[in-house]
Structures are given as structure tokens and as C-alpha cells.
Structure 1
Amino acid sequence: MEWKRLKAELLTAGGVRVEGAPIDRYTSSSSAGPGAGGGGSVFFSDGNHRVRLSLNQKSPLTLIHQGDGDARLCRGDEVIVGKLEAIGLHCPRQAYITVTGSCSFQCRYCPVPSLEGRRKAPGEVVAMIEAVVDQIDAISITSGVHSTCEEEEDYICTEILPQLQRFHLPIGVSIYPTEKTPSRLHALEVAEVKFNIETATEELFSLNCPDLNRSAIWKALTDSVPLFGRGHVFSNLIVGLGESDQEVCAGIDELTRAGVIPCLRPLNPVAGLTGAERPTPERLIRLATYHARALEREHLDPNLALTMCTTCTGCDLVPGRDL
């Protein structure tokens, strides 16, 4: 089976059941976004591509770890031979760190507000990176919102980012932006930014993110492109919130024309959307194909990404990497 079809099916399967040798050294846990608070995940690679698989002992898919990362992924009678990838922090080859593991907002698809996670101190973040610095090529910083977007931005910009320049690695940042966020992050020599508009339409945003301002996020994206460069600004676009394919394609067009690379993120039905249906593999492939054409039209190349999700590729079908 071709990789794009296999990955689309894996992304919609809801995880894998694990058997065989212990996988502790290959397991990652998420403290941000819709995967936060879950039972962990592993990154499976066929040698050229990777996919992030949540651990779910009720899954019909089985991952057999034979030891030393060698693994077999079983789908019925089909067996895919590959490797479990070593984790830097959260994902392979990156230190992807959530600074504040709680959030004052209540987006319907996100479990973070219910987790009441704590905020990491600057020294703790530095120590985490130091522990994996020989295993990573980039640092990525994300965060919930402890109280307000302004206060969170101040904490990231004054307490965290100045401590990270010592590592001489590209840094990506994904936080809820204010009007000043793009210029502040650029002044701190951040390489790439990711501000998430999340939904294909304003109406779906108002329904799912009632406390946030989608127009302000759009402005942060468009303000960022001249600073960081076309193709080094990113935004999640969740697929599966009730939007049509036509609305997703319109969102892709608007982002790519602005020089922003969309990350088409399949819905993970958690938090207020528990029980919602995941998008089908066929839909993911159809939209990813359109995504690839839109990126090519605007001369945007995901292969040039240095940090964050577009470099990792674990959770999305990424044009230029998966198809």
C-alpha cells in the first residue's frame, strides 16, 4: 500500500495496541493541544516517512516491538516493517516543549483546560533541552495561557526565549498571539512561528473557540510573513469540525496566498467533542492533494521548514513529505 493511504488510515484509526518488548524509551506524552493528557504515543517510521500513533489497547491495529526499535505494524493480514523512532522531547529530532500546561480558554476540541498543568520555570526548560541536545536539530516552544495572552507572551519572551540562544539551534514558537507577538519574536531571533486559526470558517471558530479572536490571529499571521519569510509561518486548520471540503480548500487558499503553510490537522475527538467522527482517510487524502497543489502554486515548500509540526510530520499528511 502506498504511504499516503497507509498514513491516512493510521491517522484516523485512533491509535495502536502495543505488544512485545518494552517501549518506554520510545514513548512520548503530550501536554498541549487535543492530544494532551492521553496515554502517550510512539513515532513509527518506514525509513522515509513517519507517523505518530497514540497508544490504545482497544485498537484493532497492533504494533509489535521486537526490541531496539525494530517493529512490525499489523493491519489485519498486512504487516508493515519499520522502526520506532527515538524521541527528543515530544517528537523525534526536536525539543518540543509546552511551557504552560494549563489554559484559561475553553476551546471545545482541547482537553488542556481540564488538566490544570503547571508552568515550567526557565531553568527547567533549559535543563530539559540540555538533556537531549545531542539528539535534536531544533527547539520548538508552545504554551497554554496561564492568565492572559499578554502575560503569557511576556513570560515566553522575557523569561524563556533569552535562555535558549545558547544552544545555537533554530527556534520555533507557537503561542496565542497579541498584536506585538510577531515583532517581539522576530527581535528575539526566533526562526519560525505558528499561530493557529484552527477552523475553516469564522462561524466554526466562534462555536469552538468562543473566547478567542480569529481576526487577531489572522493579522498575526499576515504580519509575520514579511518578518520570518514565506514558508516559515504556519497555522493549524482542523479537519472534522463540520466544515465542507470547499470551505477547507478556501482556507488553504487564503493561507497559502498569504505565504503561510497550513497544517491540516485531523480532528481528535476529545474534550467537548468526544464522540465526534474522525475524518475519513479518503477525505484526508483528497484535501492533502488539494493542499499540495496550493503550496506548489504559491511556491511554498514544507521541506524547508526548520521547526515544529511541519518538520515533524507525525500528525498530518504533509505535502512534499508524505505525498
Structure 2
Amino acid sequence: MIRAQTVVARTPSALLASLDRFHLQSKRKGDTLLFALSAPSDALSIITSHLKSHFPRHIGCLSSPLPAYRSYIMCAIALLDGIAFRSTIAGRADPQVGRWHAARHSSTQQLPAAQSNVFGEFNGDLGRINWEDIWDRSAMSAQEIPVELRTVRPEDVSSILYFSDKAPEGIAKALKATFPHSHEAGFLASSTPFITGRPVTLFHDGEIYSDGAIGIALQPSLGHTSLTVEFPGLVDLTPDLHITSSEGNLIVTVDHGNPTRLLLAAMYKHGLDSRNVLLKDDEFYVGVMSGGKVERLHRIISGDPSRGTIALGTMSAPPQGSIIRVGLWTSE
């Protein structure tokens, strides 16, 4: 990374002035600009045109504002030296619950090759099929790595940053398979149907896309580098806990107990009214610990006190044996 900055402005003109200064201070003009922009719809055209004129090589997306700055215009920008790419690899399709006609129509279509091969391997014994494996293969079937990365050697890529639509499974698996030793950080673009008329809005070198992913592959930097991740505003509600059972995106038991009731007890201990706190913008998270620090966060999307399970906003919950803490991230 060459330069990075987050601009918070009250007006479009103030933001444009900050972008002008950032451009003037950027000595290397051939690098790629990465940006995430949150702005009202009537200001988007002038801001994105400004970014495009200053930085013809760019990747970016429209994002949601931080809770404390909803009335402001925000633009996070970074100037990077790397290989930008555009991906059309599909992720998992949205489930169509209760749509009988759609299901009936699709049942007459031939299965993709990847799924057909899976069924063929079992010679009709459906009891032996690993359904999760089937879905994983279907997300990757007939897909290739983005064309810009096909001639890049795996050892020449240290990190990959990308913005994706709401189905990143395909690009995530392709990057991990092709560059197994690199670090990937993927960000889901915000929904923008009421802002631009697109499901998501992605920018790449003057083009605008409504799906897929865009990103940049970074080469190893000279010398030793270190990365520290902090989560300001995250308040621990529990001490370290051990996951004793998980399945899919569900935490089933924690320390052989009911995780939802444990969360409710922790809320009560910290003076949080479970009936009122859920009506606010506060969010609860499960933090996976490593070396005494939070390594990654998963948002809690629901809990069932009777069954005990906690559902996380992720494809897979932390596995059995993981050390976690439950925390609260407030909007203040």
C-alpha cells in the first residue's frame, strides 16, 4: 500500500477538495485507486466522475455509512500498486423458497456437469451423497480464475483485496485454490437498488457493474511487515468460551451448555434489557480468539432460547474447539 485515507465531509464540494489534495500528493500516477464511497444519490455522479478523472485506473464500490456518520459523505481511498481484476465467477444462487413454478421449471433442466459427476460417483446411492460438497462444487463449476490473474505465479501474490456482490463463494474459492499462500480480504458491496437501481454498484476503470467482483492482487513487500486488527467500540460480554458443537452456520453448544441462554444471562449481567436492546442499532458478535485477541468476528443474526442454537451471519460457524467471546457493538 502506498497511501490510504478516509475522508468525512459535510458537502460534496468539501469531499472533492480533499480528493484533489490526495491526488496532488500522490507522486506515482500509474497506480490503482481503491475506494468505498457513501454519498447521497444526487452527489454520486459528480464524485465518481471526479475520481475517474484523477485516477483512470480504479476499483471501488458504493458502501453504507458508518452509524455515527449517517448524515455525512464518506470516501475511504487507498492507492495501491498491484494487478487489478474483474471476476464474473458466480457464487451460490439465492434459495427460492415456496416458488413452485420456478422449482417445476428448473426440474426439467439438465444438471450442471459438476453436479452430474457427483451423482454419477454414487451409482444411485443417494444416502452416501455429501450435499455440502455438491453445493461447493456447483459454486465452482465451469469457472476460471479472472483473466488478469491467469499468468501470475502464486508466489508473486502476497495479498488480494476485492469487492463482491452478495454471492462471493465462487471468487473466494477460486482465489484460495489459485493462490493458496496469499491473504484474501473480501468486502460485500452494499445493496443499492434505491440509489442506483442496481443490486450492488461496482466500479472498475470507468465501467460500472451490478454483479460479480472486482479486486487487486498485491505483490510481496520488501522487508518484514506486520498487521494488527482492532475493533474499537466492541465490548466483551463474556469471558473466553469453548465451542463444543457447531453445525453449518449454527453454534449448537458452548461449554456443553445453551449458548442463547448464556448470551441472555450476559446481557442481564451487564444491565442490558433483552426486550429493548434488540430494538436499537446495537449488534451482537461472536469473536473468534487467537493469542488472546479477536482474530475475526461473526454477527449474531438470531438465537433460540429453547433449542439453544445461535445463528451467525456466515457460511460456517467456528468449528468445535474454537475459543470465542460474545461481544456487543453499539451504534454510539
Of structures 1 and 2, the larger Rg is shown by: 2
TM-score (norm 2): 0.25
TM-score (norm 1): 0.25
Q: Which has the higher strand share?
A: 2
